């Protein structure tokens, strides 16, 4: 018997199905980085409320393989003299409402993005960056990497 969160490919958009049944989604979780690095990558479950705090450290949250509940989840990201980076695939809808004080709270789009599916899970991101940086990077998985860009630039330079 396969688990209820088995990855499948819907034909309409080509994105993996990442939603879990509600009883498998934890209520709260988080990460704290105090002069250190914290990473959440790979196949993990995003809770309904996720809080991250970085003080003179780095937190990297990779949602490309993460599972989550249908509907809306919340992320509160705060940093003081640190950095928080969230890597988001294009099949997740992001609503960002963050502030900064002598820092930055940015949403970046990397590569050509496809439209977000109508039933995509939504993440509401809030928080504050005090003398630090919070970056939400929406990444196209098919975008060329650094070496591909370098080779293309070198090829165009040599012509």
CA distance 18 to 20: 7
**Residue 154: its H or E element:** helix 146-158
Domain boundaries, the chain: 19-158
Residue 149 has pLDDT above 70, yes or no: yes
Lowest mean pLDDT among 60-64, 104-108, 140-144: 140-144
Predicted local confidence at residue 10, as pLDDT: 39
List pLDDT tens digits, range 24-56.
Answer: 888 899 999 999 999 999 989 999 999 999 999
- Residue 144 half-sphere exposure toward CB, CA atoms < 13 A: 8
**Rg of the Cα atoms in the chain:** 17
Residue 114 has pLDDT above 50, yes or no: yes
CA-to-CA separations, 87 to 41, 95, 127, 159, in angstroms, rounded: 10, 14, 16, 36
pTM of the model: 0.78
């Amino acid at each position: 018997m396969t688990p209820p969160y088995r990855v499948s490919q819907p034909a309409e958009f080509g994105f993996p199905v990442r939603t879990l049944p509600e009883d498998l989604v934890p209520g709260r979780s988080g990460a704290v980085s105090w002069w250190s690095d914290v990473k959440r990558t790979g196949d993990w479950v995003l809770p309904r409320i996720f809080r991250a705090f970085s003080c003179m450290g780095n937190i990297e949250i990779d949602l490309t393989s993460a599972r989550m509940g249908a509907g809306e989840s919340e992320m509160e990201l705060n940093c003081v003299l640190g950095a928080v980076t969230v890597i988001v695939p294009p099949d997740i809808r992001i609503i960002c409402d963050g502030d900064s004080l002598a820092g930055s709270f940015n949403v970046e789009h990397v590569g050509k993005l496809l439209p977000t599916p109508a039933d995509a899970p939504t993440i509401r991101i809030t928080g504050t960056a005090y003398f630090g940086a919070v970056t939400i990077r929406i990444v196209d998985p098919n975008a060329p990497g650094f070496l591909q860009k370098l080779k293309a630039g070198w090829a165009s330079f040599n012509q």
